[in-house]
Structure 1
Amino acid sequence: MGSLALGLAGLTCPATAQTYSPPFTASVANSGQPGLQGMPLFLANSFSGANFDDRATLRVDRDVETTSGGGKPWWTYKAFWANTTTSFVSPGFEWVVTAELNNRARKSANAQNVAMNGTAWKKPTDNGEETGTTWAGNFNCVDQTGIPNPTTSCIGVELDIGGAVGPDANRQRVLAHAGAGGEAGSHVAYGYMVSTGPGVTIDRAFSTANVGSTFGIGLDLAGGSFSGAAVLLAPGQWVGLDGNAEGTFSRFFGFNPVDSTLTYMTRGGPMLRVTDDGAAYVGRLIETLPHIPASSSAPCVAGERAWDESFEYRCIAPNRWKRAALSDW
């Protein structure tokens, strides 16, 4: 790294402030100088002009391609490891790794400016065996407090986008984006997937938190083209229709594998069931738009029905109506 144009500033008490000259080298380690001895460390690339260095400001290379074997099962080997521990009364935000980008590049520059970017290249093995599991980004929050119902969050990933004023007609402010590769015909197995092991329950597979929040559309699939089902449920699963923030509901709709019917269910039981052969079972049938035929030869399809205050009408053949008189009792 001695070839990089780097600046090092050790932040100390103003009375004992010290300055350092680039380049930063490994000789600073164990030298007693602030920086690698627990003091804040700052690395600055050349900011402008002919001396701009387009290489990495800080780079850690770990090349094990030419070495043999090694490694322990389930042991994590870290190319870069930042470890910090808070005190019990720490009042601030402890950010272990912070990437901050002040982007002022014009749109016309066609630059991709990213605060933090993780890319893992999955490449072929030497003997044709499938390449091992690869994560481009992995974020875990493991709750080890033992509290059964915590009131403070344990969040694996949090995405915030701020500064937006007014509606975004172009939908360019995106909290989470799952995109396929840039090659034509690229295939991504899942756009967004929530999974868990046996015996583990996720209370909400997908949830919009904060009661009273306003969303334009809950689930928008209008812009997608699907080769299969737009929404896919397994038999015995259902869609709740009157849920609340606690996740309870009393009306739901789904396919019942017990009797092979599409069922609308309430607390009073099934209100509507439709079988694969078209048979419909309903609690009540109310026709609000009977479409009264003007004559016995009015247009109709066989099986169509209608009514008025005097007659019940039934279409027995294409464009062929019959009627029966109604009476009080």
Structure 2
Amino acid sequence: MNDASAVASAREQLDQFTARVQAIRDKLHQVVVGQDETIDQLLVCSLTGSHALLVGVPGLAKTLLVKALASSFDWKFSRIQFTPDLMPSDVTGYELLGRNDESGGPTMAFRPGPVFANLVLADEINRAAPKTQSALLEAMAERHVTVGGTTYPLEHPFQVIATQNPIEQEGTYPLPEAQLDRFMMEIRFGYPTVEQEEEIVMKTTSGRTTLPEAALSRVEFLELCDLVLQVPVPQSVASFAVRLCSGSRPEESKGSKLVQEYVAWGAGPRGSQNLVLAAKAKALLDGRTAPTEEDVRSVAIPILRHRIILNHRAIGDSVTPEQVINGLLKDLA
């Protein structure tokens, strides 16, 4: 294939990608008003096979958006309502004593839990005890669960979207840093504008809300994911992502006063990996064939804010992870 043919093929693939993603956006907007940035961030997570943490007050249609996303992808969807008394087996599944069909003798049969789905909504994930959160962590990290000494693989694609309420913290358990690191993005779900809220009221009080039909098949979705992985990354973009993450570590940061004074732990290598992956998906979503440093900048806050652990001095001085990240981005300008 000559250069002209390669360019034409790449352009055709990009046009198909853009058309398919726009079809998904259109399907989601049938039930969700506004939230364009949130939708694109969720699409970035989905197209890179990553998990997402949604943070927002009740009543902003977080659950509806996740269900609509699963419906648009034609995925098997399950919802787990996390509570303090939720047990690991309520997530992963459990073994029951049954009868062997051939011998007629007793045998242990595995009953899969709700984690055996393509998209799992972990609602109010911080209300479950650490033991239950650890059961979900294995699924998120390894794409399998272990019950009774037997490992059961999860179906591909597999994505966890968890929600947290930023207001009511009584009776909650902080997510372990290891589990937070498994989420590509912490996505803040904001209030709609006045005009959007009026549209929401008119839509939801005039009839029942129905989920959208699938915009593409699972095979077509996996093709989109493969295309994201094939996007070439300039060395300068990868270097920028690594410098941004390493700059958030107090022991490695040399020029940032904010990091030296207020950060206890910075982002690890998974932060750099996610910055590059998200930048690749962001470039394709914007109709471009390669990511730039600006793409890394545009995804830096949702990817890094839950990976930067502040110290007690930062809490006393009201310093936020977003301020630290913006300071690092300014230093790298």
TM-score (norm 2): 0.19
Q: Which has the higher contact order (CA 8 A, sep 6+)?
A: 2
Q: Bigger radius of gyration, 1 or 2?
A: 1
Larger fraction in helix: 2
TM-score (norm 1): 0.19
